[in-house]
Every structure is written in C-alpha cells, then in structure tokens.
Structure 1
Amino acid sequence: MKSFSKIIILNIIIALIISVTVGALINRNYTNRVNQRLNNTKEIVNLKIQSFINDTTSISESLTTILSNSDNEAFVNKFLKDNHIRYQWIDHIYVIDENKKVIYDSKGKGNIKQDEEHFNNYKFHFPINESSILSSKSNNLKRPDTLLLTNDLNINHKSYTAATVINMRAFKDEIKLITKRFNIEVKGIDGTKFYEVGKQHQQSKEITYMYKDLPVFITISGQYNYITRIILPSIFIFLVIFLLLTILALLYKSRTERMEHEKLIDQANNEKLRLIGTLAANTAHEIKNPLTSINGFIELTRMKYDKDYKDRHFNIITEELDRINNIVTQFLYLGKPTNLTYTNVNIAQVISDVQTFLAYELEQHNINIHLKLPEESIYAYISEDQLKQILINLIQNAKDALEQTTNPAIEIQLQQQSPGQACIIFKDNGMGISKETQEQIFEPFFTTKESGSGLGLYLSKKLIEDWKGHIEVQSHKNEGTTFIITLPLNISKK
C-alpha cells in the first residue's frame, strides 16, 4: 500500500510538472496573441489621430498659400467654412493676428469676441511638450468636448495663428467604428478623462501610451481570460495526465501482482510436484519390484492351469497388471522425466512406427489413421522413446474421444514451418472438448476419464517444453480436437 501511495505522489508530481510546462507555453502563446491584437489596435488608433492632425495641418498650409496672395476676407472666410463643413470632426476654424484678434472665422463675424476669449483662456497651444498641462487659466477642463489645435503662420513678415477646434465626440465616434473588441480610454496629460469607448472586461490586458502630437494618454485594453484560457486548460491537462498515469500504474500494479501471484502458484505447484514426483518415483520403484514378481507368478500359475490361454479370469488379471504397470511407469516419469538418452531422431519415422504399433488396436475400434509426412526426413535432438510415449498418449486419448463418433478418424501431419522448426499436427473428428476443459487439460492429475491418472498430457507438455518446444490444443464442440506440437530442429537428412 505504501509503494502505491508513493506512485500516486510521483504521478501528481509528474502531472504537475507537465501541466505547468504546458500552461507556460499556452500562456506565452496566448499573451503574444493578445499583445499583437493590442498593438494592431494601437496602430489603427494612431493612424486615425494622425489623419486628423494631417487634415488640420493641410488647412494651415492652404491658408498660408491663400493669405500670401490675397487678404480678401470673404474669400478666406468661405475657405474656412468649406473646410469646417467638409470635416465633421472640426467645430470651428479661425485665424488670429499678432494681437490675438480674430480676423478670419469659419462661422462669420458673430463669434469673433467669443473665439478671442476662448483662445486666450487656453494656457498653451498645440503642438505640445511633455511639461504641458491640459487646463485653462481660470479653471480645469472637466470632461472637455473639444481640443484646440494651433499652427503658427508667418506671411509677408506678419505672424498669424490658425486655430482649429476639434470635436472630441466626433473623434470618439470614429474610434468606435475602428474596433468593438477593445476598451479605449483617452485622458489628458493632467489625468482629465476625455472619453471612453468599448466594453470594460473583468480580466483584461492593456497598453498605455502618450501620443506624440497631442497632450493625451491613450489606454487600450482587451479581454485577457487568464482563468479560462490558461488556468482551466492547465488543470484539465493535469487531471488527464494524472488519470492516465494512475490507470497505467494500476494496470502495472495489477499485472505485477498477478505475475507475482502466478509465480507463487507456480513455485507452490513445482514444489508440490517435486515432492509428489519424488514420492511417486520412490513409491513406483517399490511397487514395480513386487509387481514384477506378481506378474511372474501369475504367468507360472497360468502355465499350470491355463496352458491354452482360455481362462477369462487370467486375461483380466493380466490386463489389470499391465494397466498398473503403465500407471507406475508414468509415476516414474513424473519423478525423473528426462532421464533418457537424447539423439537425432527422425520424426517421420517415429510417427510411422507408432502407427504400425497401434494399427491393430485402432482397427479393432474401426478408427482410420492417416499420415501426411514429407518426403524429406526431418530430425530433432530429442528422446525417441519419449516422443513415442507422447504420440501413443495422444492416440489413446483420441481413441477414447472417438467412441461415439461415426466414421472415426485420426490424421497426423508433419510440416517444416521454418529452417529451424517442425510442426506435428494431430487431429481427430471426435466430439471435441469444452473451453473450460481446454484451460485445464495440461494440469497435473486433471482427467475426464473415470480410470485416468491425469498425468499423460501433463508429462507430454513437460517433455516437449524440456526440448524447447511447445504444445497447444484447439477444439470446438462436435468439431473434433487438434493438438499442435512445435519442435526445434537439429539437422535434416535424406
């Protein structure tokens, strides 16, 4: 349990590191995009302000040319009025002489005195410098609606000032058309707020700067959803990675525990089989000696009382003694399964010998056996006697399975699958075996026969695995059973 708690803590640390790293990358990417949008909006606003200033400057330049050639008041006033009407953001245009008197006016003579006072009340004229203060001599401009932009003119050795009153509300309307995604606030350099457009955001990122030709600070702010764009994705990534790591840890832990459990079971089974094998071998050895004596005395008795071998009781005794002897022999193999000589065995020849040996018995049960053997001999370095024992055991099992089958048949194929591997395919057309039986068929002492020992297939599997081979079973109900034996090859001879 402690080790699993350590794994969980380690998973949290790994998920946290990855989520923080990914979150930092998302933050950098998202911040760069927001900054780029803010800078783009700043450029758009600056272009609009610059267009206002350029238009105003062009009016002053045109005035210089006109006044240099004519002082016709009606003509100059008409020029100013035309530009006043042309540019909707201009509220008033007038020209002041050296004595601060209005001499030309886009609105006519009726506003001359008012414009003189308006002009003289401003503490400074634009262009401005960083020390300029947006205020009048008499009072601060609270939420002003206009700005006064002035240009000095020097014409025929006389000084004039062209004054343009800019309607900040018109400028505000222009800015609204530029962008709807950002909040734009314009203030004077003394902090006086001119106007604000756009929706304010609870989470925002902003840039503030002073425009070079006007005494204003411009603040542009845009939505910056730090929680939804960075925090929540990072948390989601953390949870996903943590869950994946935890699932992998659980799978690994489950697999490890299963393997340890299987290992313990295998160790227990091996120890049990070792003890059983030792006991079985010793017991079989002790049984075999008196069994041989009994068998000898039975033969002597039979020679005395049943010379013609017609007594049914003697036949039964002999058959049962043979069965006991076979079981005792299997117990000996269980104790010492590899205590035989290994040689280069011709597999096809062994299969043919086994067929010949069991031919009469199979005929008695009307079982047809078919061999499909290659022309070229195939050799494996194994025990010939053990291979025969395996094949005999498979045929005996098939014979029992074919008792209720019409036209019973057994087929044995020998194939060379690759240069270093041979395959023996053993098929019957019996009733087949269930999936549950297939899972237990190679376990020791498992049998479906009333008189079986349950050691035949177990010993066969153990012998084949000792040869670095493999055996498997394939079967379906009413479709027969197939055993596939794979053996490593040694040499091949003709």
Structure 2
Amino acid sequence: MHKQLKRAFNKRNFFLYVCIVLLPLALLSPFYLDYKSKQVHAELEAEARSHSSFQALYIESFISETIGRLESMAVLMSDQGDNLSLIEQVLYKTHTKDARFSGFYWLNTEGDIIVSSNVLTDKVNLIDRPYVQEAIQTGKTRISEAHFGRVTGRYIFSLATPVRNHFGELSGILIGSVQLNEMENVINDLSNGEFVQLIDDNNQILVQSEDLVPEAKSAASYMKLEVVPWKVKSVVSFDYAGLVMIPFLFHLLTAFVVATILFMLIQSYRSKQKLAQELKQNEAEKLKLIGTIAASTAHEIRNPLTGIKGFISLLSAKYKDSKDQYYFSLIQNEVDRINTIVSELLIVGKPTVIIEETNDLNEILKEIIPLIESEAHMYNVQLSFQMTEESVWVKVSKDHFKQIVLNLVKNALEAMDSGGQLHLASEAVEGTALLLVRDTGKGMPPEVLDKILTPFFTMKKSGTGLGLAVCKRILDSYGGSMRIESEVGAGTQITIEVPLAGKSEVTFGSSVS
C-alpha cells in the first residue's frame, strides 16, 4: 500500500513538473526563438543600412567627380571644336593620368567618333545610343547603361556631354567611358566583410564585391543614388548558430533551471504545508485521545472525590478542635483544587457547549473588573482598562468569555510575582472584536511559545497546563482565535479575536450542543 501511494505521488509530481516547467517552456520556446531571430535580423538590417549608405555616398562622390572631370574637359574644348590635334592631345593626356577611364571620344554632330584616346580600327558611330541622344536633347551630361564597349570590348558605362561653341551651337559630343572594374575596386576597398552590389534601374547587376553563399543567413538593405538611377545593395551575413541558437539555448537552459528551482521551492512549500497539516491532524487526534482519556479519568476521580468530600464534612462536624479544623480546611481546599482540575479535564475531553447569545464585550469586562482589581491588588500590580465608547457585540456565552478573561488575567498576574502593570483593552476592527491582555511579567522564550497551547504543558510548579488549552477550545467553538506574543524580560501580550455579531443576531437564552 505504501509503495502504491509513493508511486502515485511520484506520478502526480511528474505530471505537475510537466505542466509547470516542461510544457510552458515547450510552448514559449518557438515564440522566443522567433523573437530572437527577428531581433538579430533587425540589428543586422541596421548594420547593412549603414554599410549601403556609406557605399552609396562614396559611389556618388566617385560618379560626381567623374562627371565633373568630363564637364571640365568639355568647357576646355568648347572653343576648340575644329582643332582636332589639340582635342586628341587633351583626351590622350587625361586618359593616361586617370585610371578610372577606359577611353575618351570626340564625336561630331552626326555621332561619328573622329578623335579617340584609344586606337580605332573601324569607323564607329554612337548617335544611336540613347544616352547620346538624351545629352543632345537636354544639353546635359547623361550616363549610359552598363555595356561592353564597341572600341575596347571592356565592361563599361559611358558619359556623354554635349559641347557648344560661344554661339551656343553644338560643336561636338565628348564621351568618357568608365571602367566598371574601377568601381568594383572602390567597392571592395570600402567593404568591411559585407557583400555589396551596384544595381541599375533595370535591376541589372553592374558590379559586386564577392559571391554570396546562398545558404548563409543574411540581412539586406538598399540605398538609391541621387546622381544616377542606380542603387546600392549591402548584404550582411551572420552566424545564425552563434548569434541566435547559442543565446537561445543558453536562455532556454537558464529558464529551465530557474523554473525547476521554482518548482522545487513550490514542492518544498507544499510539502511543508502538507506536513504542517498532517502534524495539525496528528495534534488534533492526540488532543482527542487526551480528551477521551481525560474525560474518563475525570469521571473516575470524581466518584471517590465526592465520597472524600462528604467524609471530610462529617469529620469536620464531629471534631471541633481548632487544630483539627485547620487540617480539615487544608484537605477541603486540596479537594476543591482537585475538583477544579477534574472540571478542566472534562472541558478538554468534550466539545464546548455553544451558548447562542449576544453580549456586549465591554459589559462582560465591567462585571469582572472588581474581581480582577482584587486579584491585582494581591499581586501588587497596577491595573488599567481601555474600552471603546460604543458597544462591542459578540455572539459568545457570557460565562465562557468570563472564564477566558479570568484565566488569562490569572496567568498574567502569576507572571508578575514582584509587581508590574496589567492592561486590558477592547476594540472593534473590520468585523472582529479584539480583547487585548498585556502584562509586564517575565515573558516567554520562543521554544515555550511553540508549546504553550499544548494540553498539560506548564512552566508553573502547581499548574495543570490546561488553562490556555481550555481557552483555545472555547474560542475555537465560537469561531475565534488567540494570538500570543512574548519577549523574555519584557512581558506577554495576548490578543483574543472573536467575530462581531450583527444587530439581527441578538438572541438570548437558547443553547445548542
């Protein structure tokens, strides 16, 4: 049976572990992985945007400088349209000094190349090129699409600038061809590990830094150029395992460890609660057993006790000597004390009879104040009372409540054998009536406080250890409670809490067992 219970408990714990730890982690992990991937991707997109912006700025500067160089040459040649030898000399010198250019060409108004910085083997006419026609029509420098040059056979793009004389007439067209591999060198020099492409308005790739591995995880960004209808694409590859999976697994493991520790703490708390409940049940069972034994013992004691009391009365009537009377009174007092103990045993041994009557807590205190004052005077204790102006109605038997108060006062006075102060106060707070009993006696250490409500536990030489147990038994029957706070050398404070009675609950005289 024990093994079956243990196996069932283990299965239940495993089920709770799955529900509290494993299942939430399994459900939340994909969402966190997706969040982590998006976070890394967003960071890399920002990095790629920074790279593309930097590359675009430099490429625009490169193209603008190239256009500026060509237009400067066009200004120089504007009045030299017929001086072909001078034009050839300028084209040749510029070509040899500036490596970015693949060649320079001087076209007549019909589009024929009549002067070239490169050797021409055939007659070439470029009037059919769209960028040349646009340059003639707009009067501004225009850039061609990337193409293989008819003269050099290289992969280039060309710039066409119309040249006009001082009369404003078109005297020729200056063409400058730029090697794309020069731009590729620029891109590679500026590249910091990212993959870069230069793309024209037809989505044709003009140049790129290096081959992109298709399987690599990456983030891309585009940046349009202003001087030409091109765009720069920067692609940043990243280590998915290093940036996403390893942090994800680390956080997952951390969450697993934290959740497991939390589960263990919860289980530990539940075990302690269960153990405390079991101890409470054991205490209840022990108390019930003690009560049963106490009740049967009390009945057995009372029978001969009644006979003893009767015989003492007869002897007392027969022997009138003062010395005999003194001994008879001592015996009578001890018999009465035994009878009191037996009465307390009976209270412990049977449920308290609930008296359904509503009383004013302050009125109960006023009735027993003379008794308390008399007792306090005997112990040389200063007494103070603090009661609410309004009535504090509680649904408790007057006799039972008096018994509780007198028992607590008796304990407080006995704790102040060399004098002190005793304070009693009543209060109503949020549906609860409070009775405070505070003394300045010896106080109690924590180990005594833990056992103080246990039946038959006492620190007094002549005590029974049943007084507080009886008080607690009575309070439990009326739905009340007792809180004890004590400090060695500073005294003890006991707070009695009883539910307040509503006005509609004022009923007198009926009793229910």
Name the TM tier (shorter chain): 0.7 to 0.9
Aligned residue for 1:382, secondary structure, equals: coil
Show structure 2 runs of 5+ residues with no match. Answer: 1-9, 130-142, 164-168, 200-204, 507-513
Whether 1:70 aligns to 2:92 is: no
Change (3 A) 1:422 1:153: closer
Cα-to-partner distance string for 1:333-368 (whole Å, 9 max, x where unaligned) = 112242253322232333343343355454443334
Report deviation, 1:395. Answer: 2.2
Does residue 2 of structure 1 match 2:11?
Answer: yes
- 1:239 partnered with 2:253: yes
Deviates more, 1:438-447 or 1:65-74: 65-74
| Cα 1:119–1:436 shift into 2, 3 Å | farther
Question: Is residue 9 of structure 2 the alignment partner of residue 17 of structure 1?
Answer: no
SS of the residue 2:474 aligns to: helix
Say which of 470, 477, 491 aligns to 2:488: 477
Q: Which residue of 1 aligns with 2:274?
A: 260
Q: 1:375 to 1:308 in 2, by over 3 A?
A: farther
Cα distance in 2 for residues equivalent to 1:208 and 1:394: 83
Secondary structure of residue in 1 paired with 2:304: helix
Displacement of 1:470: 2.1
Q: Secondary structure at the match of 1:341?
A: strand
Partner of 1:109: none
Paired residue type of 1:300: L
**For the structure 1 residues 311 and 159, does the alpha-carbon distance in structure 2 shift closer, same or farther, using more than 3 Å as the test?**
same
Q: Which moved more, 1:293-302 or 1:11-20?
A: 11-20
Match of 2:450 in 1: 439
String of CA shifts for 1:191-223, please: whole Å, max 9, x gaps.
Answer: x998848999x96626699x99x9x99984424
**Alignment pair present for 1:282 and 2:296:** yes
Q: Distance in 1 between matches of 2:14 and 2:308?
A: 67
Asked if 2 retains the 8 angstrom alpha-carbon contact of 1:97 and 1:161, the reply is no
Structure 1: gaps spanning 5 or more residues: 107-111
Partners in 2 of 1:419 and 1:207 — Cα distance?
66
Aligned to 1:80: 91
Q: Which amino acid aligns with 2:368?
A: V
Match of 2:5 in 1: none
The aligned counterpart of 1:272 is: 286
Deviates more, 1:338-347 or 1:390-399: 338-347
Q: Whole-Å Cα distance in 1 between the matches of residues 179 and 460 of structure 2?
A: 111
1:385 and 2:399 are equivalent in the alignment: yes
Verify: 1:230 aligned to 2:244, yes or no. yes
Residue 474 of structure 2: aligned partner:
463
Q: Is 1:294 the equivalent of 2:308?
A: yes
How far, CA to CA, are the matches of 1:349 and 1:466 in structure 2? Answer: 22
Aligned-partner Cα distance in 1 for 2:367–2:389:
16
**Per-residue CA distance 1:242-270 (angstroms, 9 max, x = gap):** 23322332222122222222222222222
Q: Deviations over 1:385-430 (max 9, x none)?
A: 2112212221222232222x3x3332222x2233633221112221
Residues 322, 409 of structure 1: alpha-carbon distance in 2 compared, 3 angstrom cutoff: farther
- Over residues 363-386 of structure 1, what are the superposed CA-to-partner deviations in whole Å (9 max), with x where a residue is unaligned? 443334333334544332111221
Aligned partner of 2:455: which letter? P
Distance 2:233 2:431 in 1: 81
The answer as to 2:181 corresponding to 1:172 is no
> What is the alpha-carbon distance in structure 1 between the residues aligned to residue 370 and residue 161 of structure 2?
131
**Residue 147 (structure 1) shift:** 4.2
Q: Could you tell me the TM-score, scaled by structure 2's length?
A: 0.73
Shift of 1:458: 1.6
Aligned to 2:420: 408
146-155 or 255-264: bigger deviation: 146-155
CA contact (8 A) 1:342 1:384 kept: no
For the Cα contact (< 8 Å) 2:41–2:219, is it kept in 1? no
1:401–1:55 distance in 2 versus 1, CA, 3 Å: closer
Instruction: Give 1:182's match in structure 2, choosing from 194, 199, 211.
Output: 194
| Contact 1:206–1:219, Cα closer than 8 Å, also in 2 | no
- What TM-score does the superposition give when structure 1 sets the normalisation length? 0.75
Using the TM superposition, name which of 388-397 and 343-352 deviates more: 343-352
| Structure-2 separation of matches of 1:152 and 1:119 | 19
- Kept in 2, the 8 Å contact 1:18–1:238? The answer is no
Cα distance 1:384–1:31, how it changes in 2: closer, same or farther (>3 A)?
same
Matched residue, 1:30 = 40
One-letter amino acid of the counterpart of residue 16, structure 1: A
Give the residue type in structure 2 aligned to 1:456: G
Deviation at 1:457, TM superposition (A): 0.7
User: 1:450 is aligned with what amino acid?
Assistant: K
> Does structure 2 retain, via aligned residues, the 8 Å contact 1:473–1:482?
yes
Q: Taking structure 1 as reference, are residues 13 and 418 closer, same or farther at Cα in structure 2, changes over 3 Å only?
A: closer
2:347 aligned with 1:336: no
Trace 1:187-206 onto structure 2 (pairs within 5 A). Answer: 196=209, 205=218
- Residue 231 (structure 1) shift: 1.4
Deviation, 1:326, is 0.9
**8 Å CA contact 1:184, 1:198 repeated in 2:** no
Shift of 1:3: 2.8
> 2:439 corresponds to which letter in structure 1?
D
Within 1, Cα distance between the matches of 2:44 and 2:376?
A: 89
Which segment is superposed worse, 423-432 or 440-449?
440-449
> Secondary structure of 2:450's partner?
helix
Asked whether the 8 Å contact 1:148–1:163 carries over to 2, the reply is no
Contact 1:60–1:151 under 8 Å retained in 2: no
Q: Deviations over 1:168-194 (max 9, x none)?
A: 3465236634x536244789xxxx998
- AA aligned to 1:21 is F
Instruction: Using the TM superposition, give the Cα deviation of residue 286 of structure 1 relative to its aligned residue in structure 2, in angstroms.
Output: 3.5
Post-superposition shift, 1:330?
0.7
From 84, 104, 120, the equivalent of 1:116 is 120
